[in-house]
Amino acid sequence: MPRHLIGRTAVRGTILALALASLLLSERAQDTEPSTSSTSSVTAVDFAAAGAAAAPAETESMSIAESYAADYGVSVEDASKILDLQVISGDLVSTLAERFGETSFDAWREVSAGAATLVVRTDDVEIVRTAERLADAAGVPLSTPHGVAFSSQGDVLVDLIPRIQDVYAGDTSALQGAYIDAKTGQIVLDVRSSSAAQESSAESLVGSAVRGLDAWSSLGADDSILRVQATNGEVGDSAILRGGNATVPACTVGFTAQIGTTSISSRGFWTAAHCLTSIPWFANPGGSGTSYASSYSHRNWNGYADIAYFTINTSSHSAYTTFYGDSLTTPRQNPSSYTFAVATDYLCHRGETSGQRCGTVSSTSYAPTWSNACNGAICQPVFVRVNGAGQDSGDSGGPWYYTNGAGTNRAYGIHKGGTYPGTTPTFSVYSKLLYRPLETRLRYNY
């Protein structure tokens, strides 16, 4: 039997991080993050409602720089410069997150006229010193305003969500998710509908809860503490498998992964945990031809993540260290570890139904509240919300990534869900690889 290949999703890239590489590699502990893991049995999910939409008639996607240029009305050259800085900034932020914890600071990028400044806000002097040293070594423009990180206020948001849901009690599915804007401190709500009276009640509720807290001490009395983003359609998980490859029932493989670092290690792939316990996979992104069996191994489907790990039969199949992204014919190399995103990063995902879709990170501390978003648990504000990135049923489990023209690849997460076609505004949500199932890691040169 021929050895079939899974898990290849690609993107393009160039790397300006040479000045930073040796410093980051010496400081960054790869794949040592804590995971909230479970190996309990999984209840099968009914995929009938998801629909088995046909894969798009896609050949090659635009490069991410071309997609960014089209979205923001800049030249491809300027887009490439901005995105190159994004790669280096992401490595810097990942180093800070791994050393100090991702909620110990806020981070975003201020982008204008083909230039970008990384902003890191914290009241921790050691974080500031480390950020300045890394930024200086890498040539990254950096601003470090002093203040309590809004990212550290996740408990406040979790406590507020059920009270906000009470405001919209007439429509129990109205509130789809919420986050704290890392830059402004506003509490942002995704709702299906919202009246002026409901918004006034919600603003009063939120204001009374947070205005006395240190993190919000800089807000003036007239500063709006609430931002409501009304959608005209449904938001939810997008069940259907591929690492850009396809599966049955329809989901998408995220990245190839394994347990251990030897030639006899368990090998397989990550996808969304809300898919199924047994997922046949295809050797191509289109889901055509023969499918092959996989076995459920580990999952994190809880308040922190929606990620599962499946193994394949390595005696007859190969889990390559590559993935499909902007190209359906040229796979890209898996990175050695994952990267933390910051607000305004421009990232892409690949899904069985939608192909490649890209957008801008609006929050790295998003709490989904749609029906059964976290398998019965309370969703914590640790998911990532990406504006403008479309998705559809079947995209669940796909890879979130960035690459540039020189082949520099970054892995960010596993697709969870978002708005369905026809819903505006459009956004997607993914699980961070920080919360992957325990013991599993990206397949990379071993």
For residue 159, being part of any structural domain is answered with yes
For residue 383, being part of any structural domain is answered with yes
Q: What is the pLDDT along the chain (446 residues), one digit of tens a residue?
A: 333 333 332 222 333 344 454 455 444 444 333 344 333 222 222 212 222 223 334 445 688 999 999 999 999 999 998 999 999 999 999 999 999 999 999 999 999 877 899 999 999 999 999 999 999 999 999 999 999 999 999 999 999 999 999 998 756 568 999 999 999 999 999 998 788 898 999 999 999 999 889 999 988 878 899 999 988 877 888 643 334 444 445 688 899 898 877 666 688 889 999 987 656 555 555 555 556 667 778 889 999 999 999 888 766 667 778 888 877 778 888 898 899 999 999 999 998 888 899 999 999 999 999 988 999 999 999 999 999 999 988 899 999 999 876 778 999 999 999 998 888 889 999 999 999 998 899 987 65
**DSSP SS3 for 350:** strand
> Is residue 323 a contact partner of residue 351, using CB atoms and an 8 Å limit?
no
Q: Is the dihedral of CA 194, 377, 258, 271 positive or negative?
A: negative
For residue 23, being part of any structural domain is answered with no
Report CA Rg, the chain.
21
The model scores a pTM over 0.75: yes
Q: Cβ neighbours of residue 289 under 8 Å, at least 6 residues apart?
A: 282, 283
For residue 225, being part of any structural domain is answered with yes
> Domain containing 244: what range?
1-14+44-64+149-446
**DSSP SS3 for 346:** strand
Tell me how many domains the chain contains: 1
How would you label 350-377 residue by residue, b for 16+ Cβ within 10 Å and e otherwise? bbbbbbbbbbbbbbbbbbbbbeebbbee
For residue 57, being part of any structural domain is answered with yes
**DSSP SS3 for 178:** strand
Angle between helix 125-138 and helix 18-27 axes, rounded to 10 deg: 140
